[in-house]
Amino acid sequence: MARQSSFRNFAIGSTLLWISIFVIVPYAFVIVVSFLTRDADTNIRWIFTVENYRELVSPVFLEVCKESLWLAFGTTVLSLLAAYPFAYLLTRIPENVRRFLILLMIIPFWTSSLIRTYSLIILFKANGLVNTVLLALGLTDQPVELLYTQGAVFIGLVYALLPFMIMPLYSALQKMDRRLIEAARDLGARGWQIFFKIVLPITMPGIMAGCTMVFLPALGLFYIPDLVGGARTMLIGNYIKNQYLTTGNWPVGSAASVVLTVFLCLFLYGYYLSSRNAHTKQGVEGGLV
């Protein structure tokens, strides 16, 4: 008994220590820095100010927020549209094919996402693979401008985050009782009616989980818009990165980080509320909270 509880203390203690060192303490620094004054030489000076937050209430930052939300929202919708049919397909195919497809989806994760984003550049550039194929097929006379467009940013973000959408959807669809579809058919529902009246509402917890897991990271993934968007589209993540690394304005960067975190927490709280609602309503498990 004493042994068990000492193991328990060790397990909980080491986790807490880990989170403290790598999450809580650094974040406390960020919050503190966001209230300090900028200094050109030493980055920060220990003088309290709220000027950094006031600076954020500027047309530039609001534009960045709007752009970020739009990109994250678009990425979420595109991911959902792409992932739902695929997740549905996964539940309908034989076990061995399914394992293979899931493996194909996971393999890229063993490569750094930065490298995978660079590979997108190789595909999209003027003399890249996509344009070479298009030219060879005679579908276009001159190379199409793919790289450094908003479309490329969407593709890059969807490509990076799609698995986070697929997995919760797959799990929700897999858990759904197939007989519900038969029951709906038995009662006269057809194709789309079955989808909208039965499948969609029942997999809603999975949809919400997937959207949360795509939307939140999409707000902060700065290097994808940088690389494939040519830094033309700026997300909150890019803004923060620029404040730290380019402008050298740590306090404003920290203030923007805090704002982003508040955003994320609000979204997570919203997700928590809606999923708790769904759980008590349907008795269906699903989701990440």
Partner 1 sequence: MEKPPIVRLTGVTKRFDEVVAVDSLDLDIYQGEFLTLLGPSGCGKTTVLRLIAGFENLDEGELFMEEVRLNDMPPNKRGVNTVFQSYALFPHMTVFDNIAFGLKMKGYEKSRIASEVREALNIVKLEGLESRKPHQLSGGQQQRVAMARAIVNKPKVLLLDEPLSALDYRLRQEMQIELKRLHRQLGITFVFVTHDQEEAISMSDRIAVMNEGRIEQLGTPTEIYEEPANMFVARFVGEINVFDARVIEAAADSATVDIHGQQFKVQNRRDYKPGQNVSVLLRPEDLLVTRDEEELVSGPALAGTVEEVIYKGKTVDLIIKLDAGETVFVTQFFNEDEDNVLYREGQRIHLEWVYGWEVVL
d(CA 217, CA 131): 30
**Paired tokens of 151:** 């479309």
Show the 3-state SS of 181-215. HHHHHHCCCCHHHHHHHHHHHHCHHHHHHHHHHHH
Q: Report yes or no: 255 and 49 within 8 Å, Cβ to Cβ.
A: no
Contact between 63 and partner 1 by CB under 8 A: the answer reads: no
Which C-beta is closer to partner 1: that of 247 or that of 282?
282
Contact between 95 and partner 1 by CB under 8 A: the answer reads: no
Contact between 179 and partner 1 by CB under 8 A: the answer reads: yes
Contact with partner 1 (CB under 8 A): which of 182, 196, 232, 289? 182
Q: CB of residue 178 vs partner 1: minimum separation in angstroms?
A: 9
Residue listed under structure tokens 């309503």? 281
Contact with partner 1 (CB under 8 A): which of 59, 94, 138, 188? 188
Contact between 189 and partner 1 by CB under 8 A: the answer reads: yes
Question: Which span (15-23, 118-126, 145-153, 173-181) binds partner 1, by CB under 8 A?
Answer: 173-181
Contact between 111 and partner 1 by CB under 8 A: the answer reads: no
Contact with partner 1 (CB under 8 A): which of 180, 262, 266, 289? 180
Helix then strand then coil, in percent of the chain rounded to 5, is: 75, 0, 20
- What three-state secondary structure class fits 102? helix
Contact between 91 and partner 1 by CB under 8 A: the answer reads: no
Give the number of other Cβ atoms within 10 Å of residue 183's Cβ: 13
Residues in contact with partner 1 by CB under 8 A are 177, 179-180, 182-189, 193, 197-198, 201-202, 204, 281-284
